[in-house]
A and B are shown apart, each in its own frame.
Chain A
Amino acid sequence: MTGFALETRNLVKRYGRRRVLDGFTLAVPRGAVLGLVGANGAGKTTWMMTVAGLLRPASGTIDMLGCGPFDAAVHAGRFALLPQDSELPLEATPMGLFYRFGRLQGLSSETARRSACDVLKAVNLADRAKSSIRSLSHGMRTRVRVAQCFLGNPELVLLDEPLNGLDPLEADRLRRFLRARAGKQTIVISSHNLHDVEQLCTHVAFVENGRVVRMDTLNALTHGRSLESVFLEQAGVGGSAGRLAPPCDSAERLVAKLKERGLTCATAESCTGGGVGSAITAVPGSSAVFLGGVISYANEVKRDVLGVPQDVLDTHGAVSSECAERMAAGVRNLLKADLAVSLTGIAGPDGGSAEKPVGLVWFGLATKDGVHTEKMIFGGDRASVRAQAVTHALGLLHSAAGGSPTPSSKL
Chain B
Amino acid sequence: MRSLMRIVQTALCEWENALRSRRALVLLLLYLASAVLCMNGTISALGKMEQELVRVLKLPDSGQTGVVSETLWKSKSFRSMVAASVDDRLVFEDISKRHPVELLYAWFAFLCAPILVVLVSGTRVADDLRTGVARYMLVRVTRLEWTLGKYAGQALMIASALAVSAVGAWCVAFWRLPAETATRLFPAMLGWGASALFYSLAWLGLALGLSHLTRSGMRATAFGILAIGACSVLPHFFPSIELFVPSGARMGLWRTSFTPQAVAVFHLVTLGLVYLMAGAAVFARRDA
Contact = CB atoms under 8 A, between A and B. Distances in A.
Interface string A195-233: 000000000000000000000000000000000000000
B21 A86 contact: no
A79 B133 contact: no
A100 B13 CA distance: 6
A56 B287 contact: yes
A124 interface: no
Interface size class of B (residues with CB under 8 A): 20 to 34
A56 B286 CA distance: 7
B9 A54 contact: no
Contacts, number: 85
B211 to A, nearest CB: 16
Contact of B20 (A73, A92, A105): A92
A71 B141 CA distance: 9
Interface in B130-175: 131-133, 135-143, 145
A270 B26 CA distance: 71
Nearest to B288: A54
Contact of A55 (B2, B21, B131, B288): B288
Given A56-B286, A104-B6, A86 B145 contact: no
Given A55-B287, A91-B17, A100-B9, A105 B136 contact: no
Nearest to A105: B140
Nearest to B145: A72
A311 interface: no
A405 interface: no
A80 B139 contact: yes
Chain B interface SS verdict (over half): helix
A86 B139 CA distance: 13
Contacts of A49: 135, 287
Nearest to A85: B132
Give the one of B3, B139, B142 with max A CB within 10 A: B139
Interface in B15-31: 16-17, 20-22
B142 A73 contact: yes
A101 interface: yes
Contact of B139 (A53, A89, A132): A53
Contact of B141 (A72, A83, A89, A97): A72
Interface in A36-50: 49
A83 B6 CA distance: 21
Contacts of A260: none
Contact of B133 (A53, A75, A87, A100): A87
A259 interface: no
A81 interface: yes
Interface of B: 2-3, 5-6, 9-10, 12-13, 16-17, 20-22, 131-133, 135-143, 145, 285-288
Interface of A: 49, 52-56, 70-73, 75-77, 79-81, 83, 85-89, 91-92, 96-97, 100-101, 103-106, 132, 148
24 contacts: A52-B135, A52-B138, A53-B139, A54-B287, A55-B288, A56-B286, A70-B139, A72-B138, A72-B139, A72-B140, A72-B141, A72-B145, A73-B2, A73-B142, A76-B141, A80-B139, A81-B136, A86-B135, A97-B13, A100-B9, A101-B140, A104-B10, A104-B137, A148-B136
